[in-house]
Amino acid sequence: MVAIEQAVAAPFATRQLADMGARVIKIERPDGGDFARGYDASVNGLSSFFVWLNRGKESVAVDLKAPGAARILDALLARADVFVQNLAPGAAERLGLGAAELRARYPALIACSVTGYGDGGPYGQKKAYDLLVQAESGLPAITGDAEPAKVGISICDIAAGMYAFSSILLALFARTSGGAGASLSVSLFDALAEWMSAPAYATLGTGREPPRTGLAHNTIYPYGAFRCGDGGRVMLAVQNDREWAALCAGVLGRPELARDPRFATNVARNAHRSEIDALIEAAFAGRTRDEAGALLERNGIASSRANSVAEFLEHPQLRERGRWSEVDTPAGRTASLLPPFSGLGTPAMGPVPALGEHTARVFEEFGLREPA
């Protein structure tokens, strides 16, 4: 696989494939490389984003505008199964790497473009980054409390990266029977548009946009965070009337509330959130977060802790199931979570490359010289 990629979306897709054992040759600019290398210096001086997204890849530094670059790319792509790029709008075509041209030259190649807003349309040539696409999708409008808030991770990039990953796998499978490659295109905006379907349908159906509800669900209640006597917060989720009845009887000590018309259905509970908040927080006022969680568990109510990132790092579910591993980086070994999948053997999880670390070796393997 050859990848001309940067930032998050395309690198996230190719890292999944690298973890599964694919060889990923990552083409980077000699003058700084993938700009995600400079996002921060959190991991022993390296970018947390780059360390997360680029383990197991080979970094080859090439100036794509140099006269000899086309010859280098041709040699690599002629032997590749997959090509992934997320260059700025129009850049791939200017370099002779547009989908139509690539498929004409390499009929068996699976070429995947990751774009901001998709091909064509009034936004087709618009630059796009995660936060900007979040805003265009309406996601912040339903996130936060009094004010809109972005999601705290690169959710548009991750969504597009996962769709790119899955579409590449599907194209590889399809190629086993027909032998032909594919031209794939995935956009950040389309990926988030799919994930925004539930609030979109709700708005279409009612004419009202879902409210921002912070750590509470905007259509299911009670489903969110509730404060306990020690100042901690416990999350609980009531999904149906049966669970509401269990909460009333076993946690609130008020079984008759299950039949109260104000609370008997989810629609009714949504209309009386403040009364439910007061009932639940009164029940938790004399309990710590852990005690409230144990009470919910005993009564069959789904619950969790409202953890900080530091608490997540120490999570017993990760520790006891051996979900932590280590990878090598140019700055030494660092902790790394295993890939989410299992059952396919030991994940590859190779080292994080230094910029241009594999240039000489790859050029020698393919009989190439540095471009003039």
Residue range 55-74, pLDDT digits in tens? 999 999 999 999 889 999 99
Q: Is 190 in the same domain as 282?
A: no
> Is residue 202 in some structural domain?
no
Q: pTM value?
A: 0.91
Q: Residue 306's pLDDT band (boundaries 50, 70, 90)?
A: confident
Mean pLDDT of 303-323: 93
How does pLDDT run across 194-204, given as a tens digit for each residue? 999 999 999 99
How many C-beta atoms surround the C-beta of residue 303 within 10 A? 18
Same structural domain, 128 and 31: yes
User: What pLDDT, on a 0 to 100 scale, did the predictor assign at position 372?
Assistant: 58
> What is the distance, to the nearest Å, from the Cα of residue 170 to the centroid of all Cα atoms in its chain?
19
Q: Please list, in sequence order, all residues whose beta carbon lies within 8 angstroms of the beta carbon of residue 66, skipping any fewer than 6 positions away.
A: 371, 372
Output the average pLDDT for the chain. 94
Q: Are 49 and 164 contained in the same domain? A: yes
Q: Which of 10-19, 214-223, 332-341, 342-351 has the highest mean pLDDT?
A: 10-19
SS3 per-residue string spanning 57-123: EEEEECCCCCCCHHHHHHHHHCCCCEEEECCCCCHHHHCCCCHHHHHHHCCCCEEEEEECCCCCCCC
For residues 213-219, average pLDDT: 87
pLDDT at residue 178 greater than cutoff 90: no
In this structure, of 31-35, 76-80, 238-242, 344-348, the range with the lowest mean pLDDT score is: 344-348
Residue 16 above 90 pLDDT? yes
**Domain assignment present for 124:** yes
Number of independent structural domains in the chain: 2
Q: What percent of the chain has pLDDT over 70?
A: 99
Are 175 and 261 contained in the same domain?
A: no
Mean predicted confidence (pLDDT) in 79-105: 93
Tell me, yes or no, whether 112 lies in a domain. yes
pLDDT band for position 334 (50/70/90)?
very high
H/E segment holding residue 27? strand 24-28
Token output for 309:
């990132």
241 plus 361 within the same structural domain:
no
pLDDT at site 146: 87
The answer on pLDDT for 219 being more than 90 is: no
pLDDT at 342: 79
Give 348-352 contacts, CB < 8 A, sequence gap 24+: 348/18, 348/19, 348/20, 348/21, 348/56, 349/19, 349/55, 349/56, 349/325, 350/18, 350/55, 350/56, 350/57, 351/55, 351/56, 351/327, 352/46, 352/50, 352/51, 352/54, 352/55, 352/327, 352/328
Query: Which pLDDT does position 370 carry in this prediction?
Result: 78
Residue 88's Cα: distance from chain center in Å?
Answer: 20
Stretch 206-225: mean pLDDT: 91
pLDDT at residue 240 in the model: 95
Residues 12 and 128 in one domain: yes
Question: Do 184 and 227 share a structural domain?
Answer: no
- For residue 344, the model assigns a pLDDT of 77
Once rounded to an integer, what is the mean pLDDT over residues 275-298?
95
pLDDT band at 316 (very low <50, low <70, confident <90, very high): very high
Clarify whether residues 265 and 362 are in a common domain: no
Same domain, 10 and 92: yes
**First-residue to last-residue Cα distance in the chain:** 25
Per-residue pLDDT averaged across 281-291, rounded?
A: 95
Please report the pLDDT score of residue 350 as a whole number.
95
- Evaluate whether residue 75 is within a structural domain: yes
My answer on whether 130 and 72 are in the same domain is: yes
Domain with 99 in it: 2-195+324-366
Domain boundary among 272, 305, 338: 305
Q: What is the pLDDT confidence band of residue 137, given thresholds at 50, 70 and 90?
A: very high
In this prediction, residue 294 carries a pLDDT of: 96
- Please state the φ and ψ torsions of residue 301, each to the nearest 5 degrees: -100, 125
- The answer to whether residue 314 sits within a structural domain is no
> Residue 110 belongs to a domain with what CATH number?
3.40.50.10540
Same domain, 239 and 336: no
CATH number at residue 281: 3.30.1540.10
pLDDT band at 44 (very low <50, low <70, confident <90, very high): very high
Does residue 356 lie in a domain region? yes
Q: Do both 34 and 171 map to the same domain? A: yes
Give 187's pLDDT tier (boundaries 50, 70, 90): very high
Q: Is residue 148 part of a domain?
A: yes
The reply to whether 319 falls in a domain is no
